[in-house]
Amino acid sequence: MTTTADAMRIFIPATISFLFGIGLTPFLNHFLYKYKMWKPKAGKVAMDGTPAETFNQLHKHTDTGTPRFGGVVVWGSVLLTAGLLSSISALFPNSFDGLSFISRGQTWVPFAALLIGSIVGLIDDFYEVRGRKGLQLRVRLLAVAVVASLCAWWFYDKLGVSTISIPFSQTPLALGMWFIPFFVLVALFIYAGGVIDGLDGLAGGIFATIFAAYAGIAFFQNQFDIAALAAAISGGLLAFLWFNIPPARYYLSETGTMGLTLTLTVIAFLTDTLGGGKGVTVLPIISILLVITVLSNILQIVSKKILHRKILRIAPLHHHFEAIGWPAYKVTMRYWVVGVLAAIIGMTIALL
């Protein structure tokens, strides 16, 4: 049975992470603007290699002049929160032992995925602001696949997990060794949804809602360390969002999206059969906007290849709405609404 003390183990990391994020931002802002850490030249290339003309027209005034590296606020605040609470727990074990949420049994793997993904993304962002093209897409996909493979092996070999939940069934699906490639495919798909970081305030609000939902799911599974980590990430994202709403002070960029999507994948599997729940089953629901983002890109590419015409003015879908005349803030706020509703529905199914 959960208690008030258990709830505080979740709310305290979220609050501290938010405060750390707010405190970090002035220093990060000063550094990013002093050294002009943004793309030196406006313009984006579509996935088929041609210039993204519609996107470039819509964002020609914002594609430069706004720094990248905003994800540092998120993972930096989580790292500081984890270090602070671990130190307090070590110094005062009789009073604050329960506050430390970094544990071998629950959070080593997602925490490692967050840091490794964020560091790789940081390298990509650094190349971008130095006038290079950043890490090639295949290199980034390979990095995600490698990290996901290591995480999947840990689940399979160390934790003995080889099953996934099935919607509306109490009997999980046994995958055996196929669990590992399935895990990797899920990670790659969720990572592809990171391109939702395209409008001021959009990605921050969506990811904060997703991680808050999984914090709730893990909490009711009594996986309090996972819940605390997810809550701390959500708190860091809210701090990022405070400065990312229009006009954005910085963008989440690759150092944010790669680490977050890898961590989300790991947490989804941790709250699945391992936690006696349906974390993977509800992942497409809770992260429906990431799913729609990926599918809209796929449909656009297929349509151009097969039908030789676009089905959207511009992909992904949120930019299509922008292209047909919706103000960016309207797209963002309607996505927030859909994201919250999806999180509520997903949590409800997960807790049935």
Amino acid identity of 129?
A: V
What's the distance, CA 280 to chain centroid? 15
pLDDT exceeds cutoff 60 at 296: yes
CB-neighbour burial class of residue 62 (10 A; exposed 0-12, middle 13-18, buried 19+): middle
- DSSP element (H, E) containing 174: strand 173-174
Residue 133 exposed, middle or buried by CB count within 10 Å (0-12, 13-18, 19+): exposed
Please tell me whether the peptide bond between 67 and the residue prior to it is cis, using omega within 30 degrees of 0.
Answer: no
Tokens of 196: 């939702």
Residue 51 has pLDDT above 60, yes or no: no
Quickly state the pLDDT bin for 134 (edges 50, 70, 90).
Answer: confident
Residue 263 scores a pLDDT above 80:
yes
pLDDT bracket for residue 97 (50, 70, 90): confident
Q: Which amino acid, 12? A: I
- Would you list the domain boundaries of the chain? 4-351
Of 171, 74, 174, 66, nearest to 115 by C-alpha is 74
List, for residues 38-50, the tens digit of each pLDDT value.
Answer: 988 765 665 555 5
Q: What is the mean pLDDT of the chain?
A: 92
Q: Which residue has the higher pLDDT, 1 or 67?
A: 67
- Residue 53 is predicted with a pLDDT of 63
The residue among 59 and 130 whose pLDDT is bigger is 130
